[in-house]
Amino acid sequence: MSEIDVAQLEQVLLDGAVLVDVREPGEYAQAHVPGARLIPMGQLGSRLPELDRSRPVHLICASGNRSGAMRQLLTANGFEAVNVEGGTKAWISSGRPVESGLS
């Protein structure tokens, strides 16, 4: 599965899925999916060793474009990567909870 929607994301997060937010720190600080780990798009390639290759990595950005590109990067490097369709905007629009700040 290369892409999921926010309802599917909510379910996999309940099951302990890994979610990486590839937006910039300022965007992430404003609002992000609870539990999302910030690794900005420009840093992802050099930070691949921080990710567990044995588990799918779910990727999110604002709308799904940047995370879609980063899904290709991860896939090319041997990861099972899944893009979140509609991104954080879709998550917020659906009324799901968000966190703010950089922690």
Catalytic residue among 9, 36, 59, 61: 61
Q: Rounded to an integer, what distance in angstroms lies between the CA atom of residue 73 and that of residue 99? A: 27
Phi first, then psi, for residue 36 (nearest 5°) are -70, 140
Torsion, Cα 48 52 57 61, to 10 degrees, reads: -40
Q: Rounded to an integer, what distance in angstroms lies between the CA atom of residue 48 and that of residue 101? A: 23
83 annotated active-site: no
Catalytic residues: 61
